[in-house]
Amino acid sequence: MLTQAILEGLGLGLLLSIMTGPIFFTILQVSIEKGSRSGIALVAGQWISDFIYIAISSYLAKFLISWTKESELGQDLEFYLSLGGGAFLILLGLLLLFSPQSKAKTKEEPLSNKQAGQYFLQGFLINSLTPFPLFFWFTSIGTAYSRGYSQTDLVFFGVAIMLMVILTDFLKVFLASRLRQLLNELWLKRIRWVASFGLIISGLLFWLRLLWLS
C-alpha cells in the first residue's frame, strides 16, 4: 500500500504541476523579471503553505471523509475563501498591471533578505488565500484515507505529491529565468500583462463560484 501511495502521489503531483493557476503566472513573471533566486523564494512560500495543508489534512483525515461540499460548514468555508481569495488575486493583478515596469537585464541582481522574504510571503499568501489548494489537499487526502490508506501512507502520499511539485517548480523557475536573456523590454511588458490578467481572471472565476454556491 505504501508503494501505491507513493506512485499515486507522484502522478497526482505531476498533474498538479502542469495545471495553470494564479501561482503559475506569478512564477513566470517573477522568474523572468527578477531571476531564479526571486522565483525560488516565491515557490518556497507556496511549498510551505502546501506542507501545512498536508499536515492538517492528514491529521483530520477521518473528519474530512465525512466533510462534503453539501455540508453547511463546507459551503460556508468555500464561500468565504472564494470571496476573499478572489479579491486578493484581483488586487494583486491590478497592482502588478499598474506597477512600474522593470527594465530588461541579462544579469541577475543580488537578492536581499528583505526581498526574499517579500517574495516568500507573496507565494505563501497566493497559495493560502485561494480556494483550490485547500480543497485539493482536503479532497486528495480524504479520498486516499477512504481507500484504506494508513496515517503513514497519507504522509508519504502527500510528500510524493510535493516532491513532484518541487522538482517541476525548480524547472519552471530555471527555464523562465533563462528567458530573461532573450527578451527585450517589450516582451517583458507583454509577459507582465499576461501574468496580471491571469491573476485578475483567476480572481473573477473564484467570484463566479459564489453565484454557483448561492
Average pLDDT over residues 8-22: 79
pLDDT tens column, 138-161: 777 777 776 677 878 888 888 899
- Tell me which residue of 53, 52, 25, 49 sits closest to 39, measured CA to CA: 25
Highest mean pLDDT among 24-38, 106-120, 162-176: 162-176
Pick the closest to residue 195 from 30, 49, 84 (CA basis): 30
- Residues 30/177, Cβ–Cβ less than 8 Å: no
Task: Please report where in the chains the cell 507556496 appears, as a residue.
Answer: 46
Instruction: Report H helices in the chain.
Output: 2-18, 22-34, 36-59, 61-64, 72-98, 113-128, 131-146, 151-179, 185-213
What confidence score (pLDDT) does residue 134 get?
78
Least-confidence region, from 55-59, 72-76, 182-186, 191-195: 72-76
Q: What is the dihedral of CA 88, 93, 94, 96, to 10 degrees?
A: 120
Residue boundaries of the structural domains of the chain: 2-213
Does the model's pTM come out above 0.75?
no
- Which of 7, 24, 2, 45 lies closest to 168, judged by CA? 24
**Which of 50, 33, 31 minimizes the C-alpha distance to 172?**
31
For residues 157 and 79, which has the higher predicted lDDT (pLDDT)?
157
As a whole number of angstroms, the distance between CA 45 and CA 123 comes to 5
